[in-house]
Amino acid sequence: MIKKALLGIFLLVLAAVIFLFYFAWRSPDFYPASGDCKFSTPPMTMADYDSVSQIHPRPFIIDIDASKKNPKWGKVLFYGATHTRDINDRQLADIEKKWEAFDPNVCLVEGRLGFLVPGLMDPVEKFGEMGFVYKLSRRDGVEAFTWEEELDDEITAVLRKFKPEQAAMFYILRPYFSNIRFGKPENPDEYVKGFIENRTQHPQLQNTIKTVGDIDAIWNREFRGNDKKGNPIKDWRETSDEYGLPLWLGDISAESNFVRNEHLACLIVTLVKQGKRVFVIGGSSHPVCIERTLVSELK
């Protein structure tokens, strides 16, 4: 009887493992190579973007048919959304309408989406509009990639201007700062603990920050008083990146976004020049920042 019960449990576990292996979502892969782009018109810096951030439309959409210039080239539609995790957000219907009209053969999504079990987890509630577009790609058999570059490569670029301790602080806390707008975690310290080890694997970041206590010590040392706009700086547990980060964390964020936008523009140009129809989803600042670069390279 015990053997039968154990066999039954084993078979149930095996069935669950097989189900997860074949049906669970995994984050889209990095694109294998984006080339080495030298742009005559680079993306906006975040300082440039700040001057238009309050006046540009949302969503911000780029729609370029590069084949009008070169018949061998493809097209790009970049949907720059307002980040959402509301399954009833009107943007989602608009995204799907534009997706179907555009009929892409490759899509690029912002971020690393992580693990999701369809039917048990909603992609919008879990990953926002990025999850929704990934769902469309899986539904329609469209090849999908993250438009991010490998984290170590981004960190290497940021370290040209910032100290290892500063970079470690930013990359450990970035997921927290990005997600708190959707609700503060029940235990911020536990949430952040999960990022300390895997966000400090870069050779120059090892042994910089090891505990939440280290984060508190740096915060108390570096982020006292007011920010550059004269506003009181809150504890990191109450800080969101929705309206910018304080002091040098904001500077690192700006540099990180510039590096990401350069990589994104290069990736889009590479794919379009391969004749692809590329659908891109990301926050609205990104298409604003790279529009002039894409227009210069593809029109």
Integer Cα distance of 91 and 34 in angstroms: 29
Helices (H), 115-244: 123-140, 151-158, 164-179, 188-196, 212-222
Q: Which of 29-33, 91-95, 170-174 has the lowest mean pLDDT?
A: 29-33
In tens, the pLDDT along 70-94 reads 999 999 999 999 999 999 999 999 9
The pTM (predicted TM-score) of the whole model is: 0.84
Pairing of strands 75-81, 277-283: parallel
Averaged pLDDT for residues 146-162 = 95
149 confidence band (pLDDT: 50, 70, 90)? very high
Label the pairing between strands 277-283 and 29-30.
Answer: unpaired
Residue 82: per-residue pLDDT: 96
d(Cα 157, Cα 260) in Å, to the nearest integer? 10
